[in-house]
Amino acid sequence: MRNKRFSLLAAIWVVVLSVFMISGCTSSSTSNSDALEISSSGQTRNGEIYLFRGLANVFSKGMDVIGEKMVRRGLDAKVYNHTAWRSIAEDIVARSKIRRVRYPIIIMGHSLGGNATMQMSKYLGDKGVKVSYAVSFDPTITTFVGPNIGEVINYYLPNSDHTNIVKQTGGFTGSLRNVDVSSVAGVTHVTVEKNDRFQTNVINTTLQLAKAKRPKAGVVADIDEP
């Protein structure tokens, strides 16, 4: 079943590419302003949240919804194409050396964006940058997590040989769950990140990790350390 699904995706690649070109999306595109949004309560929250779409930005609109919900709650969440993960990670590593990272760092993604989520998390962890929470929605390959990574969740529909799971490598001391969601009604590869329950779970966890703050007017908030 899984193989048929990816065969179908491959068959419509030309159409998808056309949509991609028309949309003008790039690896650095975001769905939110660069400015930190303020929630209706006047509070902002700590943290940097990176959300990644999958193929050509057209199959992962649930990530945009998650990002919009987070911004409304005072979270600094931005949405990117999965290909942007390396450049973003390098920027975080550079800023970490001058203590300009706003922890906690939280990363999520769907499909190829799910692959990017764990690849970015491991890259940062290996460089000594703490990642508090990493969530993948039905990635397409096996990925790995190592040191300096906290909670990891993989909502996945097993492919034919169960290779789209997350595994731990040496130095990993966090919590890791591969959650098989194939029995959940209405959940497929192209709907998993749009599931209301999954979205609520990851947003609530993010809110718990990103403690609320109310900056003083005209004062730049202090940089948080892990």
Q: Which of 197, 141, 146 lies closest to 169 in space, CA to CA?
A: 146
Residue with tokens 């290909």: 83
Buried b (16+ CB within 10 A) or exposed e, 166-201: bebeeebebebebeebeebeebebbebbbbeebbee
Q: What percent of the chain has pLDDT over 70?
A: 75
**Residue 44 pLDDT:** 85
Q: Which of 127, 139, 104 lies closest to 213 in space, CA to CA?
A: 104
What's the CATH number where 115 sits? 3.40.50.1820
pLDDT at 124 over 60: yes
Q: Is residue 223 part of a domain?
A: no
Average pLDDT value for residue range 147-175:
96
**Residue 218 pLDDT:** 47
Lowest mean pLDDT among 18-27, 114-123, 153-162: 18-27
CA distance 215 to 223: 12
Q: Is residue 222 part of a domain?
A: no
Q: Is residue 226 part of a domain?
A: no
Q: Is residue 20 part of a domain?
A: no
Q: Mind listing the pLDDT tens digit for each residue in 195-210?
A: 999 999 999 999 999 9
Q: Is residue 14 part of a domain?
A: no
Q: Is residue 13 part of a domain?
A: no
Tell me if 187 sits within 8 A of 181, measured CB to CB.
yes
Domain, as residue range, for 144: 41-211
CA distance 222 to 111: 35
Q: Which of 142, 116, 129, 125 lies closest to 54 in space, CA to CA?
A: 116
Query: What φ, ψ does residue 42 adopt, rounded to 5°?
Result: 85, 5
Q: Is residue 123 part of a domain?
A: yes
Tell me if 226 sits within 8 A of 104, measured CB to CB.
yes
The number of folded domains in the chain is 1
Average pLDDT value for residue range 25-36:
34
Give Cα separations from 187 to 32, 36, 93, 155, 192 (angstroms): 27, 32, 36, 10, 5
**What does R_g of the chain's alpha carbons equal in angstroms?**
17
